[in-house]
Every structure is written in C-alpha cells, then in structure tokens.
Amino acid sequence: QVQLVESGGGLVQAGGSLRLSCVFSGRTFSSYGMGWFRQAPGKEREFVAGLNWNGAITYYADSAKGRFTISRDNAKNTVYLQMNSLKPEDTAVYYCASTIYSDSPSLVRGYNMWGQGTQVTVSS
C-alpha cells in the first residue's frame, strides 16, 4: 500500500552537493519514521540517516555526520537528504525507507517499506 519514490541522484564531482528527495504515498506520512540507506556494488546495504515522525529526532552514520542532513516536509509527504562535500566513497544506490516504529533506526531490519533507489555517482 505504501509507495516510496526517490529522485535527485546523478553524477557529481568530489566536493559537490546533491539533494535527494523521496515522495511517500498510500498512508499517513506523519505516522512514519523515515530513513536513507545506500548500497555500493559488492557491499551490503548500509544506514546513512534517519528521523522520526516530525523530524525532531535525527540519526546519522559516522560517515554522514557533518556532511549530510536529513529533513522532512510532512505537508509535501517528502523526506530529503542534503549531501554536501561528497566523496567518491559516497557512490552508491541510495534508498529511502519507512517504519511505523523502530528500536533499531540504523538497521535495515528496522524498516518495513523501501523505495526503488536512485544512483549517486561521485567522481574524483
């Protein structure tokens, strides 16, 4: 029933910025916590950032702290990931995910629904 659609990925040089968006539909958006994950070729999906239903509580992977910012606009049913100072190691497919509640907001198993992903490629 819930659908998540990511956009905003692309090719950027190291040091550049991108803003990813994820539009949520099918249920009441403000009932859900949201997260961003990424997966590079040959690697497992890893947590990037997450936030609770109103954005008052945020979580970041160590690799994202100080560079990435997660936010949400409940009026637009959208969660964002602003990525600054991008590095080649940030290259991956980025996925948004939703959870009605999670004790493990930084783990894949803490989320119930996933988008299709958007490719981010950072060149050196």
Q: How far is CA 124 from the centre of its chain?
A: 23
| pLDDT at residue 101, as a whole number | 85
Is the pLDDT reported for residue 102 higher than 90?
no
What tens digit of pLDDT does each residue of 55-89 get? 999 999 999 999 999 999 999 999 999 999 999 99
What pLDDT digit, counting tens, does each position of 20-62 carry? 999 999 999 999 999 999 999 999 999 999 999 999 999 999 9
Chain position carrying tokens 């959208």 = 78
Rg (CA), the chain: 13
DSSP 108-121: GGG--EE---EEEE
Q: Where are the beta strands (DSSP E) in 1-124?
A: 3-7, 10-13, 18-25, 33-39, 46-51, 58-60, 68-73, 78-83, 92-99, 113-114, 118-123
